[in-house]
Structure 1
Amino acid sequence: MTIRVLIADDQAMVREGFGSLLAAQSDLAVVGAVADGAQAVEAARRLAPDVVLMDVRMPVLDGLAATRQLLGSPARETGPRVLILTTFDLDDYVYEALRAGASGFLLKDAPAADLVHAVRVVAAGEGLLAPSVTRRLIAEFATRPARRTRPVSLDALTPRETEVLRLIARGLSNAEIAADLVVAEQTVKTHVGRILGKLGLRDRAQAVVLAYESGLVVIGE
């Protein structure tokens, strides 16, 4: 199945470079390339891409605002996956991008293979964060007080699902979770699917945000 990709970046060289790279992959198709956030919103609604590569700093409408427009409720469940691209790994956009509904966050200086992999990962419903971005995200959560009231939605999880959610929030892959719990990796995938379904989440990135915001996982535990 071909993954349809829309590229949104205000630099023509970046759009052309990423476009050529992705178009060379047999399972990827670049359906459009735009230069600002407003164009990204319009093109995404018109072209129905599976993944939008979204630059953060763009004219007219920045990538964060564009992501909010694309993925605001109820479109959060039906909109495209958004992969945020930036040259800055320590800017203030990491947390807000994930809150806006982005599924991934990748640095523009990452190897070409990483970009291709990232598109496939978010298209498959997984969340993806560059290591330096993960550190920034954890640091951001560390400065925020944990929510005292446990969200009612978490009560729908079984004890094992809650345990899996905690491990997801700590950055473990399905294989690592399987090893930690001594179960099959397919069993972990089943748990993850049920967790996302019960909590109404799009992917693992959103699960990480909820786990920290709710206080289910506390920095330094």
Structure 2
Amino acid sequence: MLVDGHEMVLAGVKAMLAQFDARVRVVGAAFGADQALRVVTALNPDIVLCDVRLQDVSGLDLCQTLRRHHPQSKVVLLSVYDNERYLFQALRAGASGYLLKKIKADELVHQLELALTGVIVIDAGLASRAVDTAARLQRDEFWPGARHGLTRRESEVLSLVVRGLSNRGIAEWLVVSEQTIKTHLRTIYRKLGSKDRSNAIATALREGIFL
């Protein structure tokens, strides 16, 4: 079953998989979380192939809901985001895979077949980077926030934001200009996918960047 927020994407993936009708069959499609839940309940698909970003909720949240209420249906996330952060979140949500939308049709079918057998399927390049990240974390080569792409200084700034300091307070603490802190914050927001200060704090706490 396919879940995406864009009709053209759904049609494209369906057409791509139709070439392999002897190996895979699309039994249904949905545009958002509410519709997806209804369709999964009605059709009981083997695999739900779902975009990470939907229009109403996150595909990660939908994955958690599906795994809780329909554990018999495996969830494989399909995304344009070649980002370890999304991969780690997907695995925590109970996904059976994280594949990129640049994948070729025959490879997608192969990965879905593997997922059906219980294998966790991950884009090869992303998996390689994730393994390297995990190994470096084990060796304590990373500082808090490094796996999200934050530099040491950005991690330090974020830690002070979480502690409740203002931009001026952070600047005084680090002995830099307030404009420098604003520049750091813009970069931090971009790397965390956050729109503002409160959202960045919520992300830092949710992701366990600072315990």
**Deviation, structure 1 residue 87:** 0.7
Among 8, 14, 20, which residue is 2:15 paired with?
20
Q: Is the contact between residue 5 and residue 54 of structure 2 (CA under 8 Å) also seen in structure 1?
A: yes
Which residue is 2:37 aligned to? Answer: 41
Q: Determine if the alignment matches structure 1 residue 99 to structure 2 residue 92.
A: yes
Which residue is 1:88 aligned to? Answer: 81
Larger relative contact order (Cα-Cα within 8 Å, sequence gap ≥ 6):
1
CA distance in 2 between counterparts of 1:141 and 1:46 reads 39
Residues 1-221 of structure 1: matches in 2 within 5 Å?
6-24=1-19, 25-72=21-68, 75=70, 78-90=71-83, 92-142=85-135
CA distance in 1 between counterparts of 2:54 and 2:13 reads 16
Cα deviation code 1:158-184 (max 9, x no counterpart): xxxxxxxxxxxxxxxxxxxxxxxxxxx
CA distance in 1 between counterparts of 2:13 and 2:72 reads 22
Q: Is the contact between residue 70 and residue 79 of structure 1 (CA under 8 Å) also seen in structure 2?
A: no
Matched residues, percent identical?
33
Which structure has the greater CA radius of gyration? 2
Which residue is 1:209 aligned to? Answer: none
Q: Secondary structure at the match of 2:15?
A: helix
Structure 1 stretches of 5 or more lacking a match? 1-5, 147-221
Q: Match of 1:122, as an amino acid?
A: A
CA distance in 2 between counterparts of 1:56 and 1:136 reads 19
CA distance in 2 between counterparts of 1:9 and 1:57 reads 8
> Structure 1 residues 19 and 136 mapped into 2: Cα distance closer, same or farther (>3 Å)?
same
Cα deviation code 1:92-147 (max 9, x no counterpart): 2110101111111111011111111111111122221111221343355357569x
Q: Match of 1:66, as an amino acid?
A: L
CA distance in 2 between counterparts of 1:91 and 1:39 reads 28
CA distance in 1 between counterparts of 2:136 and 2:90 reads 17
Q: Is the contact between residue 28 and residue 39 of structure 2 (CA under 8 Å) also seen in structure 1?
A: yes
> Structure 1 residues 140 and 65 mapped into 2: Cα distance closer, same or farther (>3 Å)?
farther
Q: Is the contact between residue 79 and residue 99 of structure 2 (CA under 8 Å) also seen in structure 1?
A: yes
Q: Secondary structure at the match of 1:102?
A: coil
**Deviation, structure 1 residue 13:** 1.6
RMSD between aligned residues: 2.1
CA distance in 1 between counterparts of 2:9 and 2:61 reads 21
Q: Is the contact between residue 38 and residue 61 of structure 1 (CA under 8 Å) also seen in structure 2?
A: no
Structure 2 stretches of 5 or more lacking a match? 140-211
